[in-house]
Amino acid sequence: MQTSVLQNYPAGVPREVHPEQYRSLGQMFEESFQRHADRPFSVCMERWMSYGELDRLSTTLGAWLQSRDLEAGARVAIMLPNVPQFAVTMCGVLRAGYSCVNVNPLYTARELEHQLKDSGATVIVILENFASTLEQVIERTAVKHVVISSMGDLLGGLYGRWITLAVRHLARMVPPYKLPLDNGRSVTTFPKALAEAGGRALRPDPCTLDSIAFLQYTGGTTGLSKGAVLTHRNIVAATLQAEAWFMPALARAGDLSKVNSIAALPLYHIFALTLCLLAIRQGSHLTLVPNPRDFGKFIAVLKKRPFHMLPAVNTLFNALLVHPEFKTVDFSTLFVSQAGGMAASEGTARRWFELTGCPMIEGWGMSETCAIGTNNPVTNTTFTGTIGLPLPSIEIAIKDDEGRSLPIGEAGELCIKGPNVMIGYYNQPAETAAAFTEDGFMRTGDIAVMQEDGYSRIVDRKKDMILVSGFNVFPNELENVISLCPGVIECAAIGVPDEKQGEAIKAFVVRKDPQLTEEMVMRYCNEQLTGYKRPKYIEFRDALPKTNVGKILRRQLRASVST
């Protein structure tokens, strides 16, 4: 690792982490469950779960899975939102010696079928709200065992039953479904699975650090999604890296069991999943937010008790900032506002700091790197506009298309090496080979520049680059500038066909001020951007298309222009 990188590490952050201290994730879980048995692990809809309960329930579910006579290393799909069942299932699967396949609950039937078939999952744990989607595809997959959960299953007694009835009959959020029981297929409710396993002992799992822990599917922006193979070593390393990096800020809470992290981003996504694993490692607790899009209720949750860590994507920070109730929240204990998942904008960061007093800390990562690969120090007091420094035990390099490392200050592909980096794509040897350089670095597809101080700056994704009269224009730069225009909430920039220039720039803008005009935005861009970087077209929209995690979908914007 470069000397300049280490010189900029906050005091107390180690240069390396050592995942070899654990045999597997199961050992890490068991150590934490025993040490923190009486501490709270999560709260959801004001119902608490302790580490002791997480231990007991995940042991029971793991024993039930083992009773199904699954093959060694069987893949278990998890199609759940941010409810207590998620952590119970994840820990149960891993402790039983199987692999987790995280599934976006909002997948279409086509997307779900691809992921189940590609992973070869033979078990799925799914919230009943999404069972009608599974019904459409299950007979074309290898799934033999379905565990159906209801929203209130782990919310306790009468309250839990009331929540389930409200979701089913008042909100009508559970479409009718009928899952086929032919070909030896079983369908079991979550409570029944726990009851059936009562008294069964959980056999020791055979996993090592080299066993597969997760198949974490990428967003599939370049075609069908691919399963990044993440081993127990990868996940343990990423957890230890996150703990080392965030400790200088979280230590301010004194007792780590008091640390309350807000899990509003979906736990099936690698960003929030790392937060969950970090909480388990350090014995802190999570506030689970099943539906962060209901901003009124989300903000009401933030008001209930002190919170210390809020991970979010730029669009979520934006949405909170424009809600009138958000300014009434107490931010006095907010120590980490972690931005990731997409580029953070200076305009959003400035408004966030002015309101909360807590600087947005931007990082960078991928499913393939177990979330965080680089991050700004949590001791920073200002927004840098960079992706920060590589975390402990991580090395990054800027390389050209032939895999040669480029000098400081020259733009090239960001490449990464470390114990958190995936071992490859599941059953795709050609894709895996193309993803790595000869010297073992993984190609990320991001174009970046490394500075003299070791900090790196993302220029953009290769595929999103706009070519205007032979000049490369990077949408991130345009979006960052336009976001600072008075009256703008957020924006996105794409290239559109142009007879004279090859491509012209079109900016889609969501405005806060309804009086903002195209001419005003154009005038601002003319002041801030050189000629070839200025948008030729401005289109105002009420909202921008986003993934479930909040990334702006430029490809959908491009498709809307071409149709």
What per-residue confidence (pLDDT) applies to 218?
A: 83
Task: Report pLDDT digits (tens) over 521-538.
Answer: 999 999 888 888 999 999
Q: Is residue 216 part of a domain?
A: no
Q: Is residue 436 part of a domain?
A: no
Q: Is residue 172 part of a domain?
A: yes
Q: What percent of the chain has pLDDT over 90?
A: 81
Task: Report pLDDT digits (tens) over 294-327.
Answer: 999 999 999 999 999 999 988 899 999 999 999 9
What per-residue confidence (pLDDT) applies to 1?
A: 66
Same domain, 134 and 160: yes
Q: Is residue 428 part of a domain?
A: no
Task: Measure the CA–CA gap between 399 and 37, rounded to whole angstroms.
Answer: 47
What per-residue confidence (pLDDT) applies to 343?
A: 79
Q: Is residue 305 part of a domain?
A: yes
Nearest to 449 by CA among 458, 441, 440: 458
Domain count, the chain: 3
Task: Report pLDDT digits (tens) over 460-488.
Answer: 777 788 888 777 788 988 998 899 999 99
Write a three-state SS string for 260-287: EEEECCCCCCHHHHHHHHHHHHHCCEEE
Nearest to 389 by CA among 406, 372, 376, 407: 376
Q: Is 404 helix (H, G, I), strand (E, B) or coil?
A: coil
Same domain, 278 and 395: yes
Domain end point (choices 207, 241, 257): 207
Give Cβ neighbours of residue 556 (< 8 Å, ≥ 6 apart). 545
What phi, psi does 462 have (nearest 5°)? -55, -45
Q: At what angle do helices 84-95 and 270-282 cross, to 10 degrees?
A: 80
Q: Is 114 helix (H, G, I), strand (E, B) or coil?
A: helix
| Paired tokens of 187 | 């369908």
Domain end point (choices 191, 207, 223): 207
Same domain, 158 and 236: no
Same domain, 10 and 62: no
Q: Is pLDDT of 221 > 90?
A: no
Same domain, 338 and 243: yes
Query: What CATH number did the domain enclosing 132 receive?
Result: 3.40.50.980
Beta-carbon count within 10 A of 196 CB: 14
Q: Is residue 430 part of a domain?
A: no
Same domain, 411 and 502: no
Q: Is pLDDT of 508 > 50?
A: yes
Give how far the C-alpha of residue 280 lies from the chain's centroid of Cα atoms, to the nearest Å.
17
Task: Please report, as a single letter, which amino acid is at residue 350.
Answer: R
Q: What is the mean pLDDT of residues 188-204?
A: 93
In this prediction, residue 284 has a pLDDT band, given cuts at 50, 70 and 90, of very high
What phi, psi does 147 have (nearest 5°)? -110, 115
Query: What CATH number did the domain enclosing 375 receive?
Result: 3.40.50.12780
Nearest to 283 by CA among 250, 306, 315: 250
Furthest C-alpha separation in the chain: 74
Q: What is the mean pLDDT of residues 33-50?
A: 97
Q: Is residue 433 part of a domain?
A: no
Same domain, 374 and 242: yes
* Full domain range(s) for residue 480: 465-562
- Beta bridge partner(s), residue 510: 490
Same domain, 366 and 484: no
Q: Is residue 212 part of a domain?
A: no
Same domain, 155 and 126: yes
- Beta bridge partner(s), residue 228: 216, 425
Q: Is pLDDT of 283 > 90?
A: yes
Same domain, 74 and 142: yes
Same domain, 455 and 494: no
Q: Is pLDDT of 360 > 90?
A: yes
Domain end point (choices 190, 207, 224): 207
In this prediction, residue 136 has a pLDDT band, given cuts at 50, 70 and 90, of very high
Mind giving me the DSSP string for 331-399? Answer: -TT--EEEE-SSPPPHHHHHHHHHHHS--EEEEEEEGGGTEEEEE--TT--S--SS-BEEPTT-EEEEE
Task: Measure the CA–CA gap between 342 and 265, rounded to whole angstroms.
Answer: 13
Task: Please report, as a single letter, which amino acid is at residue 7.
Answer: Q
Same domain, 65 and 171: yes
